[in-house]
Amino acid sequence: MQVTPSAAGHRSGFVALIGRPNVGKSTLVNQLVGDKVAITSPVAQTTRNRLRAILTTDEAQLILVDTPGIHKPHHLLGERLVQSARSAIGEVDQVLLLLEGCEPPGRGDAFIVNLLRQQRLPVQVVLNKWDQVPTAQRPEADAAYRDLLAESGWPIHHCCALTGEGCPELVQAVSALMPEGPQLYPPEMVSDQPERLLMAELIREQVLLLTREEVPHSVAVSIDRVEEMPSKGKGGGRTAVLATVLVERKSQKGILIGKGGAMLKAIGQGARLQMQTLIDGPVYLELFVKVVPDWRSKPQRLAELGYAEEGR
Ligand code: GDP
Ligand code: MG
């Protein structure tokens, strides 16, 4: 795993994609990250927002968070969706508001704009499906949306998520407004993998259980590799997991490793047993400890990584 220290000028953070259902959020995520990400269920996530896709460039790492579509709440479900999108807004660095460029703005759009204007986050607007707007009608369509967004001052981008037109410029613009920060994920990681998050959580649990007060809960765990190892001879196959425990200070690293590696061994054993239950098969777990000094300054990102703070 390469968690780069905060290289000068490198930027990273979370971007919420907000917009009505069907506006093209998932298509945009796929387009930005590449076809490796299979965005599956459009089912609303009613609890916390989940990371969906990770876009790594030379300059930045953007973690794209797909949110449920926002509607003006008419009933309880709508309210839940809005709540969930609101909480997503509270946990990201920037918002991408997707609007359907090929349709005139509607009341629902004004509702979303107002909601976002109450936040202090940077917002950029994507007029998506721009390919569906005949060239002759583009100035008019553009003007209608500029009216809607006039007081916001948000930058507007015209895109076609389907073909990728306008997307490189969009990535640049989004990256530029990100806070400076290190890569939060290995660059080859492109998507949210719930099983991995659970594995990380199990390791973190053991760290907290076994080290108690000595290592604060700003400890983070990253699952670097999960591999199926074929069976050799009589023994069956097993799942090999390589993981890194990130801490802030050298002294914490010492505690985690323990005398002669005893602590790390105990953490690994405890986590391995839990993982075997999780995946219902034998696990080989290799744990590393790494010091990443500025890790604690990103508590909201830790939460996003699935390492919720106590009581959450
Ligand atoms: P979501 O509900 O916001 O995630 O929307 P989806 O990504 O599922 O897209 C909804 C539909 O719009 C799909 O049929 C996409 O193929 C289509 N779509 C998305 N972006 C574009 C675009 O830029 N141009 C065109 N023509 N269609 C698009
Ligand atoms: Mg979708």
Q: What is the CATH number of the domain that holds 24?
A: 3.40.50.300
For residue 192, name the pLDDT band (cuts at 50, 70, 90). low
Residue 95 has pLDDT above 80, yes or no: yes
User: Measured between alpha carbons, how far is 186 from 226 in angstroms, rounded to an integer?
Assistant: 13
Residue 75 has pLDDT above 60, yes or no: no
Clarify whether residues 169 and 262 are in a common domain. Answer: no
Clarify whether residues 216 and 140 are in a common domain. Answer: no
Clarify whether residues 144 and 204 are in a common domain. Answer: no
User: Measured between alpha carbons, how far is 252 from 46 in angstroms, rounded to an integer?
Assistant: 36
Q: What is the reported pLDDT for 260?
A: 95
- Closest atom, ligand 1, to C-alpha of 159: 23
For residue 70, name the pLDDT band (cuts at 50, 70, 90). low
- Closest atom, ligand 1, to C-alpha of 29: 7
Is 278 part of a structural domain of the chain?
yes
Is 186 part of a structural domain of the chain?
no
Q: How far is the CA of 133 from the centre of ligand 1 (A)?
A: 14
Q: What is the reported pLDDT for 257?
A: 95
Q: Are 108 and 85 in contact (CB under 8 A)?
A: no
- Could you give the number of structural domains in the chain? 2
- The residue ranking higher by pLDDT, 301 or 54, is 54
Q: How far is the CA of 224 from the centre of ligand 1 (A)?
A: 32
Residue-by-residue DSSP string for 255-296: HHH-GGGHHHHHHHHHHHHHHHHHHTS-EEEEEEEEE-TTGG
Q: How far is the CA of 142 from the centre of ligand 2 (A)?
A: 24
- Closest atom, ligand 1, to C-alpha of 66: 4
SS (H, E, C) 9-39: CCEEEEEEEECCCCCCHHHHHHHHHCCCCCC
Is 228 part of a structural domain of the chain?
yes
User: Measured between alpha carbons, how far is 12 from 189 in angstroms, rounded to an integer?
Assistant: 14
Is 207 part of a structural domain of the chain?
yes
**Residues having CB within 6 Å of any atom of ligand 1:** 19, 21-27, 42, 128-129, 131-132, 160-162
- Of 221, 191, 207, nearest to 307 by C-alpha is 221
Nearest ligand to the C-alpha atom of residue 164: 1
User: Measured between alpha carbons, how far is 126 from 123 in angstroms, rounded to an integer?
Assistant: 10
User: Measured between alpha carbons, how far is 32 from 170 in angstroms, rounded to an integer?
Assistant: 9
Which residue's CA is minimally distant from atom 10 of ligand 1?
22
Q: Give the model confidence (pLDDT) of 195-239 as tens digits.
A: 677 788 788 878 888 887 677 666 888 888 888 787 776 667 788
Q: How far is the CA of 156 from the centre of ligand 1 (A)?
A: 18
Q: How far is the CA of 172 from the centre of ligand 2 (A)?
A: 23
Mean pLDDT lowest among 112-116, 122-126, 195-199: 195-199
Q: Are 96 and 15 in contact (CB under 8 A)?
A: yes
Query: Which of 23, 25, 26, 27 for a ligand 1 pocket mutation test, highest count of atoms within 8 Å of Cβ?
Result: 27
Q: How far is the CA of 259 from the centre of ligand 2 (A)?
A: 49
Query: Which of 17, 18, 20, 22 for a ligand 1 pocket mutation test, highest count of atoms within 8 Å of Cβ?
Result: 22
Clarify whether residues 199 and 135 are in a common domain. Answer: no
Compute and round to an integer the Cα radius of gyration of the chain: 22
Clarify whether residues 160 and 215 are in a common domain. Answer: no
Q: What is the mean pLDDT of residues 45-55?
A: 51
Q: What is the reported pLDDT for 225?
A: 85
Domain interval for residue 206: 195-304
Is 6 part of a structural domain of the chain?
no
Q: What is the mean pLDDT of residues 151-178?
A: 96
Q: What is the mean pLDDT of residues 46-70?
A: 70
- Closest atom, ligand 1, to C-alpha of 19: 3
Q: What is the reported pLDDT for 44?
A: 29
Is 127 part of a structural domain of the chain?
yes
- Closest atom, ligand 1, to C-alpha of 128: 23
Clarify whether residues 300 and 217 are in a common domain. Answer: yes
Could you list which residues have their CB under 5 Å from ion ligand 2? Answer: 25-26, 42
Clarify whether residues 134 and 236 are in a common domain. Answer: no
pTM of the model: 0.61
Q: What is the mean pLDDT of the chain?
A: 79
Residue 1 has pLDDT above 50, yes or no: no
Which residue's CA is minimally distant from atom 22 of ligand 1?
129
Q: Give the model confidence (pLDDT) of 254-286 as tens digits.
A: 999 999 999 999 999 999 998 887 666 789 999
* Percent of all residues in the chain with a pLDDT value above 90, rounded to a whole number: 38
Q: Are 124 and 152 in contact (CB under 8 A)?
A: no
Provide the CATH number for the domain around residue 289: 3.30.300.20
Clarify whether residues 163 and 200 are in a common domain. Answer: no
Mean pLDDT lowest among 41-45, 172-176, 187-191: 41-45
Residue 126 has pLDDT above 60, yes or no: yes
Clarify whether residues 264 and 119 are in a common domain. Answer: no
Is 274 part of a structural domain of the chain?
yes
- The residue ranking higher by pLDDT, 118 or 136, is 136
Q: What is the reported pLDDT for 85?
A: 61
Clarify whether residues 80 and 145 are in a common domain. Answer: yes
Q: What is the reported pLDDT for 92?
A: 87
Clarify whether residues 67 and 142 are in a common domain. Answer: yes
Clarify whether residues 24 and 172 are in a common domain. Answer: yes
- Closest atom, ligand 1, to C-alpha of 23: 3
Residue 245 has pLDDT above 70, yes or no: yes
Residue 121 has pLDDT above 70, yes or no: yes
**Neighbouring C-alpha atoms within 13 Å toward the C-beta of 305:** 27
